Structure 1
Amino acid sequence: MNINNEMIKNYLQQRSDLPEEFYTLFGSMDQERVLLFSLIDLDAELKFCQRWLILTDKRLLLIEQGQDKINCLHEYERALVKKVLEVKSLGLTTLQFLGGGNGPFFFEVQFTHRQKAMMEKMRFAIEESVFKMEMSAAETYQSTILKPILEARNNLADENQDALVRLLHYLRPYKKEVIIGMTAALCGSFISLIPAYLSGRLIDDVVRPYQSHELTGPLASKLGLTFIIGLVGAYILREFFIWQRLKRMSIIGEKVASDLRNDLFQHIQTLGADFFSRKHSGSLISRIGSDTDRIWDFIAFGVVEVTVAIGTLIGLSVVLMARDFKLGLAMVLPLPFLLFAIYWQGERMKKLFIRAWRKWSVVTSHLSDVIPGIQVVKVFGQESREVKRFTQKNKDFTEETFAFHRTWTTFWPLLMLGVHTTTILMWGLATPRLLSPAENPEHLTAGVFVSFLLYATLMVWPLEIIGQVSRMLNRALSSAYRIFEILDTRNPMPMASAIQVPAVCLGDIEFQNVFFSYDKLRPILKNVNFQIRQGEMIGLVGTSGGGKSTITKLLARIYDPHSGIIRIDGYDLKELEPAWVKKNVGMVLQEPYLFFGTIWENITYGLPNAGELDIIAAAKAANAHDFILKLPNGYDTVVGERGHTLSGGERQRISIARAILHDPKILLLDEATSAVDTETERKIQEALDKLVVNRTTIAIAHRLSTLRKADRLMVIDNGNIVEMGTHRELVAKADGKYAELYRLQFEVEGGSLLN
């Protein structure tokens, strides 16, 4: 049984594949192929059941396993089922299968939300007439139902030690400092036991003998001074070791947190675009910032404090039983029960902390949404609405924090009551022995009892520390789960075993039988084939959603195709070194992104060490130099976040200057002149005309006028290249897709199209 089967069985308590005998219904693969299937876990009376909805390339079936045979409850030719109607209810969903238009009602199924994601894929495949799947039916089913479990698995990990051990591995580079800090901590804890011992000896060996005239005044004073000097030395040594511990461990904690932040940010840079489409930026910021701070707190203080506390408890237990075995045993026996209570409480607190930090991620995600879009909020007058939304999310988080504060504040007094009960028990056992005659073998001296009282006070401190560290540990582990969840995420685009690094890039491009889907169900590109010669400019046109931008994303290797090959200069794109691809493939996006900083820094982003003359030349080529000089500080003018202090056209021209300076051999232009006025479009187009010289260029545009210098045009429709040729060739096809687009824009723009 593989790991997916085990996880589905353990977490979902359902099968990971169709029963083997079901496959006999469909014959060989040549006869009928199973495309998708899903468990239907509710019957018509809304009782739990195990039925299977199966979609093949020929039929739609609802099947259940009977006692001695397979029962086919519904079976219809796939061509008859045209529409799937969804009816939502509390706790369940119903899908009704219908014919086309107002066609007949065939049947309906009910299922819990656990099956909803898979049923959504079934619904889409039926309505969109999907007859080819990238994965097998079992693989699609398993990956779909396991997706939410895999995403939450790190947050719900049962083995705390996994995250804790991984966290402690970050201490390895600082082994020497850790050893010194831990040694200092343990020395300090053991030295803290000395004052109580010396105090008892001072009473029994100095005070009592002097009071009974067994010692003279001068001798008693001399002995008393010796004990006091010993106390002073113990306290000085203890504070020295505490200083060493705090100094070293706090610095180590900062170093570990810094290493975690570096590893996390570096790893995030390696992840694919699909990861960022699933994760909110606010959540990622929270993990890099807040979560690493909580881990610093634990590493700097928690690790050492709990070590010191455990060492102190062990030392106390040994000293107490050595001083008086019976009385010491009475104080030591309750310790395991108190420690177990702290552990049990920690397990409860862990779940509450995880819930609270999830709510906190929602708060930070809301902030990262609203603050960058504050202009939109103000334009539409939605300030009060956003305040209300934030207040509700903040309230939800606060209520979660109340839950663990209530739990903690209820438990802590009870724990301390248990500690004080131990002290009272000690008094109860010690009092008769204190009052017994001195010659009684069970007699307890006042000095020993004072030592026990002081040790009882010392015992409260390590228990408090372990309790506090337990809460700190749960905070740190909940943060560690969130961090390791990111670090354990792998880029779905693996590196090839043999990396190719060509000496130069010529700019030849080839797509061969390329298929691509963002969700592995809805095909975006379908068997795309074309070749582009070096230096050629190709225009991509077509309706929105046809797959134009996807072609550029695949060429820039933001995504990998699910099947087929993309080649640059004859090399498989997957085998080329990523850095080589980024250097030789440049993009100018529809919405240019500028970082907070100076214009100079934004232009040189792709080439930080560029010379001043090259930077100015790039700005001039992009028609940006003149407007930059008119700004208060010229090239040193600081643009706001995302460049919001500049107009859209100005941002675009800086983006083009950045691309010109980068000097890629292959250039991808994605709607670079959309959403700007005519004059700005003219300036941007002039800059683009300079940019595309001696480069292989793929330009996407809805305005056909921006493609007037394209060597060839490709018309993309529904994931296919439906037409290819020059403007004149395509316009000549009166019933063609391009001619239709041309006529529509000609009417809108009053004859100003390509001439």
Structure 2
Amino acid sequence: MSEKPQDPRIIERYTDQPARMPSDLRRKIEGRWNGAPVQLYAMADLDESMSLTERWFAIGPSRAATASRRDDGSWRIDSFARRDIETVREIPGLSSTSLVVLGSPGESPLASLRYTHRQRRAMENLRFVLEEQVEGRQPVPGNADLEYERAVAGPLRDAQALVGGTRRAVLWRLLGYLRPYRRRMLAGFAAAMAITGLSLVPPFLAGYVIDDVVRPVREGSLPLSQGLRAAWAAVMAMAVAYLVRQVAAHVRLRQMSVLGEYVARDLRTELYEHLQRLSLSFYSRKKTGGLITRVSSDTDRLWEFLAFGIVDVSLSAVMLVGLSAVLLSLDWRLGLVMILPVPLLCWSIFKHGERIHRLFARAWRKWSGLTDILSDTIPGMRVVKAFNQEEREKRRFDASNEAAMGEFNRIHRVWTFFWPTLMLGVHAMTMTVWVLAVPRLLDASAGVASVTAGTFVSFLLYMTMYVQPIEVIGQMARVMNRATSSAHRVFEVLDTEPEVRDVARPRRLDPMRGAVEFDSVTFGYDGVKQVLKGISFSVAPGEMIGLVGPSGGGKTTITNLIARFYDPTGGRVLVDGSDLRALETGWYRQQLGIVLQDPYLFHGSILEN
């Protein structure tokens, strides 16, 4: 079964609105139009009382229609001719916008639609097409479903990186970056396994010394000299276990910390190289600060999880299973007290992690907003000072800084309440063990239900160790949530495909004469609003021309198409008779001389620039 396209999934997941116009409604509208297709549509999701509703506005080649649901679930469709439209008005508001389509003066509006910001881009596409019609132009929209999906899902994709798949898929993809460092990973994992195994030795030896050495010596059943030899042997074994454990801890820390840095470096390198391949349209949609945060902060946040989280969580799960078996073998009654609540604790940690994951996503967006202000203001400091806007920029930064702090404090309020509550439950388990064990320790006549001092000491030591993996799993869950939130943001960029790409076998023109021809070129930055409409002209080699026109007339767009920063949506751009899309882009741009509209100097010498 093919996977559902991404944009519809984004709309359904984050807006709780239909990803497309209902198919039955579309058939009814097209039937009302005698088979003419729906070319563009949007949903007006507010009614007159500002309550959420489902009302659709669609246009075809010659007609437009509004459709709303009746109480019985059927559709009420009102259709009118597009030639009757004389004025289109947009009335912006704080939390909603209204679009009013007017016919002849003095008559009731042909359509009055109110919508939230979710539908703003889709409605703007409709407004543009209708306004162009009023001006005597007839833009032809593309695929209605695709235009609607892009318009509604686009802002969500730009605002957050939670659309790159499930958290499990992100984790598996992140773990794939460990593959080149398998030896370090295995060495760190083996050292961690050794630490876990050696940690079980001292509690066992403590119980052995108390029950099998100290008590027999005091009772006179074991000679003192033999008891001392056994006790010193146990103490030496403990010392060796502690020594080897610390050596293994050193190996683990060294291998895994370096491993985390290697993977973070690889991610930064891959991300930066991918940014070099992306088209200019990507940078026009994304803010500079957000991209800087992805390359720097987001990759750095992955270090702790990659260095310690993976191994610690895995070994903590193994240790929980192993300690559960040991506790049950020592005393199954007391062991059940510690083991039975663990699934509930793990479930609460999982639910807490889901909530923290959402909060971290919000916090990183606020942090990116803070970085955006810095990336805008510092390079533009000359403009800020020229217009005496220092105080305004300080207020803007302070507001963003407060918003970021508020989101992080919200995270702190949640986890600082959760963890003491969780540990209170763990301590309640410990107290229950004491309550059940004390009568059995003091009453030696309890027979099979009694427990020896050595067994209970071993149980207490193992019980203390039993709490540690629960704490580690919980703390690593928080680290994992930070890491997956950052990984989502990194993979969002890595999964973005450049819109301008070379064909399988690009060509080079040798020699290159420089004849440029536009053959019926049409281009729009958003697929609906056409900046160039069927432009055709040619420039001979050595000929100099000037493009003159109003702002927004398409002069810069023509230059961008010649440099192949964008590809035309219709027609062809030819150089020496060859379509630009058939040429090797990197080689072709080396043949161009461009003086950009806004010169930019990199840090460094004149020669380096």
Q: Please give the TM-score of this superposition, normalised by the length of structure 2.
A: 0.92
Greater C-alpha radius of gyration: 1
Change in Cα spacing, 1:217 to 1:389, as seen in structure 2 (3 Å) is: same
Aligned counterpart, 1:111: 114
Contact preservation (8 Å) 2:132, 2:138 = no
User: Secondary structure of the equivalent of 2:598?
Assistant: coil
* Counterparts in 2 of 1:7 and 1:251: CA distance versus 1, 3 Å: closer
Superposed, which structure 2 residues align to 1:270-669 within 5 Å? 270-437=277-444, 440-602=447-609
Of 511-520 and 42-51, deviating more is 42-51
* Cα distance, 1:510–1:450 mapped onto 2, change above 3 Å: same
What secondary structure, in the 3-state scheme, does the structure 2 residue paired with 1:561 have?
A: coil
Question: Partner of 2:168 in structure 1?
Answer: 161
Alignment-derived partner of residue 635 in structure 1: none
| Matched residue type, 1:148 | P
* Matching residue's letter, 1:473: M
Q: 1:396 to 1:376 in 2, by over 3 A?
A: same
Of 50, 55, 58, the match for 2:59: 55
| Partner SS state of residue 466, structure 2 | helix
Is residue 134–residue 521 contact of structure 1 (8 Å, CA) maintained in 2?
yes
Q: Distance in 1 between matches of 2:453 and 2:358?
A: 48
Deviation of 1:56 after TM superposition, in Å, equals 3.2
1:527 Cα deviation (Å)?
1.2
Alpha carbons 1:22, 1:70 under 8 Å: kept: no
Aligned pair 1:40/2:47, yes or no? Answer: no
Letter in 1 for 2:214: V
For residue 430 of structure 1, report the CA deviation from its aligned partner. 1.4
**Is 1:95 aligned to 2:99, yes or no?**
yes
Contact 1:82 1:126 in 2 (8 A): no
1:73 aligns with 2:78: yes
Query: Cα deviations across residues 602-630 of structure 1 (Å, max 9, x unaligned)?
Result: 1xxxxxxxxxxxxxxxxxxxxxxxxxxxx
Shift of residue 597, structure 1, vs aligned partner: 0.7
SS at match of 1:504: coil
1:182 paired with 2:189, answer yes
Query: Structure 1 stretch 312-321 or stretch 400-409: which is displaced more?
Result: 312-321
Structure 2 unaligned residues grouped into runs of 5+:
none
Runs (4+) off by over 6 Å: 65-70
Q: Which amino acid aligns with 1:289?
A: S
Q: 2:593 aligns to what SS in structure 1?
A: strand
For the 8 Å contact 1:252–1:299, the answer to whether it is kept is: yes
Matches within 5 A, 1:709-724: none
Q: Partner of 1:84 in structure 2?
A: 88
Q: Distance in 2 between matches of 1:49 and 1:368?
A: 40
Which range is displaced more, 525-534 or 1-10?
A: 1-10
> Is 1:206 aligned to residue 227 of structure 2?
no
Aligned equivalents of 2:165, 2:526: Cα separation in 1: 30
Amino acid at match of 1:56: G
**Is the deviation greater in 156-165 or in 482-491?**
156-165
Matched, 1:126 2:133: no
Tell me the SS of whatever aligns to 2:366.
Answer: helix
State the distance in 2 between where 1:202 and 1:15 align. 70
1:567 alignment partner AA: L
Structure 1 CA distance, aligned partners of 2:339 and 2:110? 70
Change (3 A) 1:423 1:44: closer
Deviations 1:343-363 (A, max 9, x none): 121111111111111111111
Give the residue type in structure 2 aligned to 1:213.
G
3-state SS of the aligned residue for 1:558?
coil
Q: Which residue of 2 aligns with 1:138?
A: 145
Counterpart CA distance in 2 for 1:150 and 1:340 is 31
Q: Within 2, Cα distance between the matches of 1:21 and 1:105?
A: 25
* Per-residue deviation, 1:296: 0.8
How far is the alpha carbon of 1:569 from its aligned partner? 2.2
1:14 and 1:68 map into 2 onto residues whose CA distance is: 15
Q: What SS is found at the alignment partner of 2:414?
A: helix
Closer/same/farther in 2, CA of residues 445 and 88 from structure 1, 3 Å limit: same
Query: Does the Cα contact within 8 Å between 1:40 and 1:111 map onto a contact in 2?
Result: yes
Distance 2:460 2:20 in 1: 63
Which stretch shows the higher mean deviation, 530-539 or 356-365? 530-539
SS of equivalent to 1:525: strand
> Which is further off, 49-58 or 401-410?
49-58
Distance 1:339 1:72 in 2: 53
The CA distance in 2 between the partners of 1:464 and 1:15, in whole Å, is 42
Task: Note the alpha carbon deviations across 1:355-387, whole angstroms, 9 max, x for none.
Answer: 111111111111111111222222333222222
> How far did 1:48 drift?
5.0
Q: Matched residue of 1:598: which SS?
A: coil
Q: Which moved more, 1:369-378 or 1:258-267?
A: 369-378
Contact 2:158/2:286 (<8 A) preserved: no
CA contact (8 A) 1:501 1:576 kept: yes
For the residue of structure 1 that corresponds to 2:356, the secondary structure is: helix
> Higher relative contact order at CA 8 Å, sep ≥6: structure 1 or structure 2?
2
Q: Quote the Cα distance in structure 2 between the aligned partners of 1:347 and 1:151.
A: 22
Q: Cα offset for 1:63?
A: 4.0
User: Paired residue for 2:250?
Assistant: 243
**How far apart, in 1, do the equivalents of 2:188 and 2:254 lie?**
8
1:27-61 per-position Cα deviation (integer Å, ceiling 9, x unaligned): 355xxx64422233444555555443233343343
Q: CA separation in 2, counterparts of 1:392 and 1:152?
A: 18
* Cα 1:44/1:227, change in 2 over 3 Å: closer
Note the C-alpha offset of 1:108: 4.1
The one-letter code of the counterpart of 1:368 is S
Shift of 1:439: 8.4
* Residue equivalent to 1:641: none
Q: Which amino acid aligns with 1:73?
A: D
Deviations 1:607-660 (A, max 9, x none): xxxxxxxxxxxxxxxxxxxxxxxxxxxxxxxxxxxxxxxxxxxxxxxxxxxxxx
Partner of 2:17: 13
The range that moved more, 249-258 or 298-307, is 298-307
Tell me by how many angstroms 1:210 deviates. 1.6
Distance 2:50 2:402 in 1: 36
Partners of 2:67 and 2:341 lie apart in 1 by: 60
